[in-house]
């Protein structure tokens, strides 16, 4: 099929109301088409596979804690074969960690996959992931921070909706549990996500930590893409690079000084990727290292985003915080820059 015929077919399917499509290069084949795949919703009694694609916890008890967290959600837990492996700052060697992910997707007894924690390591395993097997065995996979590398690569190469959401080792606050349930367990649409927790206002007291900053107003809609900023930058120029075109980009990070955030955003701008997005959601940038001679993060964001002419909002509950949203990659959402809200326009699971 030549390019013109392919694009005509895509347009025809879109007009007929078919599922959204991604048009991108896949394994050297020009313009391969991958249909968006939604995984099965989560239910109590399911078997969840637990894997550690990044770093190990400080002690093995951290693994056992993560297992107990998943059991508290009503799941049976199947442990990855190398879940307790330790290789300095990696949870086993690259092939072991990739093999655990691959096995969980191909195991018919496993219904969904949770990552134990982030840290570092997912970019190293991306060449060893079996994307064809994942496409044929779609399941929920969730995690954040370094897991950004894995969930974006899987979505880009297979079309599977993946989740920037909870990891097992950190437990679930009331907010995190409620957000997880409305996205992965009992989905509805349209539904707002990632808004600040509701707090009781009293005379002389208002919310201080979880405030919304509206850099640019207006509305935009499109599929969601994003996660940890440093991991997204790592994927640029690789076969696992996300598609930014017409998407709502969400970003978060931790332990990054303003100049490093500036450098990474500038890299995305120089590559032309920022100019492709329809809107930007800035989540939580925590543990910021300020020195005596620096722009603050607000100034960095203003410099990079204020002139883009698209909605840009800062402060939604995405990132390294105890109250954490679950954000599905590939699902259509609307960003309202005036209201400071992000709303899913469709369910992320079936």
pLDDT digits (tens, 9 = 90+) for 142-195: 999 999 999 999 999 999 999 999 999 998 999 999 999 999 999 999 999 999
**225 by DSSP, 3-state: which?**
strand
Q: What is the pLDDT of residue 12?
A: 36
pLDDT digits (tens, 9 = 90+) for 70-94: 999 999 999 999 999 999 999 999 9
Residue with tokens 């088409």: 33
Work out the mean pLDDT of the chain and round it to a whole number.
91
In this structure, which topology does domain 47-171 adopt according to CATH? Rossmann fold (3.40.50)
DSSP 287-345: S----SS---HHHHHHHHHTTS-S-EEE--S-SSSSS---EETT-EEEEETTTTEEEES
pLDDT digits (tens, 9 = 90+) for 92-140: 999 999 999 999 999 999 999 999 999 999 999 999 999 999 999 999 9
Rounded CA-CA distance 317/194 in Å is 5
Confidence band of 244 (pLDDT split at 50, 70, 90): very high
Q: What is the pLDDT of residue 73?
A: 98
pLDDT digits (tens, 9 = 90+) for 297-312: 999 999 999 999 999 9
**32 by DSSP, 3-state: which?**
strand
pLDDT digits (tens, 9 = 90+) for 21-52: 443 434 433 334 358 999 999 999 999 999 99
**99 by DSSP, 3-state: which?**
helix
User: What does the domain layout of the chain look like in residue ranges?
Assistant: 47-171, 188-344
Catalytic residues: 145, 252, 320
Question: What does residue 87 show for φ and ψ, rounded to 5 degrees?
Answer: -135, 80
Q: What is the pLDDT of residue 202?
A: 87
Given CA atoms 213, 215, 220, 225 in this order, what sign does their dihedral have? negative
- Residue 174 burial (10 A CB sphere; 0-12, 13-18, 19+): exposed
In this structure, which topology does domain 188-344 adopt according to CATH? Glucose Oxidase; domain 1 (3.50.30)
What Å distances lie between residue 314 and 224, 253, 258, CA to CA? 16, 13, 15
Query: Does pLDDT of 9 surpass 90?
Result: no
Q: What is the pLDDT of residue 274?
A: 97
What Å distances lie between residue 270 and 12, 294, 313, CA to CA? 34, 22, 21
Q: What is the pLDDT of residue 179?
A: 98
């Amino acid at each position: 099929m030549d390019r013109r015929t392919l694009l005509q077919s895509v347009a025809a399917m879109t007009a007929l109301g078919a599922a959204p499509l991604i048009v991108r290069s896949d394994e050297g084949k020009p313009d391969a088409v991958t249909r968006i795949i939604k995984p099965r919703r989560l239910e109590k009694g399911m078997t969840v596979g637990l894997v550690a694609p990044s770093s190990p916890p400080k002690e093995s008890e951290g693994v056992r804690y993560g297992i107990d967290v998943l059991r508290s959600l009503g799941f049976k837990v199947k442990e990855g074969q190398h879940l307790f492996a330790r290789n300095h700052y990696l949870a086993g060697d690259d092939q072991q960690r990739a093999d655990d992910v691959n096995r969980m997707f191909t195991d018919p007894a496993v219904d969904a996959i949770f990552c134990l924690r982030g840290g570092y390591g997912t970019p190293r395993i991306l060449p060893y992931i079996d994307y064809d097997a994942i496409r044929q065995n779609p399941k929920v996979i969730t995690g954040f921070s370094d897991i950004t590398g894995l969930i974006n690569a899987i979505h880009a190469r297979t079309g599977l909706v993946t989740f920037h959401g909870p990891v097992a080792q950190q437990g679930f606050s009331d907010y995190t549990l409620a957000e997880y349930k409305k996205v992965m367990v009992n989905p509805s649409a349209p539904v707002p996500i990632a808004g600040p927790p509701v707090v009781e206002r009293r005379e002389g007291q208002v919310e201080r930590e979880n405030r919304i900053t509206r850099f640019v107003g207006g509305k935009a809609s499109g599929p969601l893409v994003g996660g940890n900023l440093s991991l997204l930058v790592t994927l640029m120029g690789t076969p696992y690079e996300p598609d930014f075109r017409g998407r709502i980009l969400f970003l978060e990070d931790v332990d990054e000084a303003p100049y490093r955030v500036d450098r990474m955003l500038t890299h995305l701008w120089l590559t032309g990727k920022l100019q492709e997005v329809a809107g930007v959601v800035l989540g939580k940038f925590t543990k910021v290292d300020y020195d005596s001679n620096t722009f603050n993060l607000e100034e960095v964001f203003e410099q990079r985003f204020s002139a883009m002419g698209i909605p840009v909002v800062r402060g939604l509950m995405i990132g390294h915080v105890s109250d954490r949203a679950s954000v599905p990659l590939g699902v259509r959402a609307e960003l309202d820059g005036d209201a400071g809200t992000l709303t899913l326009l469709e369910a992320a699971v079936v």
